[in-house]
Structure 1
């Protein structure tokens, strides 16, 4: 049971960061370590992200929207369409500077779990992650 007030709430949760810009990925990973995550995996696009999902089975995915060759919307569409119940339901939070109505609507239609505008702060990132994880366990 996820309890964000516990000192050890995050250390056994595996998180996958999909971000094509190396320095942004490093900043996000540093913020996640400050929150308490220890099991952090990275991929620079949706193709590599799928390989990592199958390899590490994350509890949560943070995903940029604008990546090549597979962008975040396409990645999420393929993830949700997977035949594997556990993997297709992994919570996804989009990290992006794109606030266009079409992008937001496409993300919602694909059941994105959260949406954060870059640059993201430590407090905002933690709050969104906590909200998504609590919501997923029915809390």
Structure 2
């Protein structure tokens, strides 16, 4: 199996738990992303999308004050065509069918049930970027 080449891509991690965010950022850096940006919640995530124009987003579902679904809704509601098409991979502790359905209706690309691993990140992001 060949390694997925992410060196031309940047990614944004939106996760409210600092340790989990750091671990995800390290895994993504080790996968070869040219840049890994971080945000502690959906509001900061929206600002980071504007500031850094990432190629993909890995986003926790359950956060405060703005959760992952709120982030995605705001992202898709804007006038920026790039943001409307930005791949968003949701992280969740449980794949609740109602949450999955709502996220899909808002334009989520896929889910990873926590804990994320390098292999699941490579596979889910590789499907959307490479």
Could you say which TM-score interval applies, normalised by the shorter chain?
over 0.9
Q: Is the 8 A contact 1:29 1:40 kept in 2?
A: yes
- Report how far residue 127 of structure 1 moved: 0.7
Q: For 1:1-139, what aligned pairs fall within 5 Å after superposition? A: 5=2, 9-134=5-130
Partners of 1:120 and 1:83 lie apart in 2 by 31
Q: Tell me, which stretches of 5 or more residues in structure 2 are unaligned?
A: none
The count of corresponding residues between Structure 1 and Structure 2 is 130
Partners of 1:15 and 1:120 lie apart in 2 by 15
Q: Which runs of 4+ in 1 moved over 4 A?
A: none
Partners of 2:25 and 2:34 lie apart in 1 by 10
TM-score calculated relative to the size of structure 2: 0.93
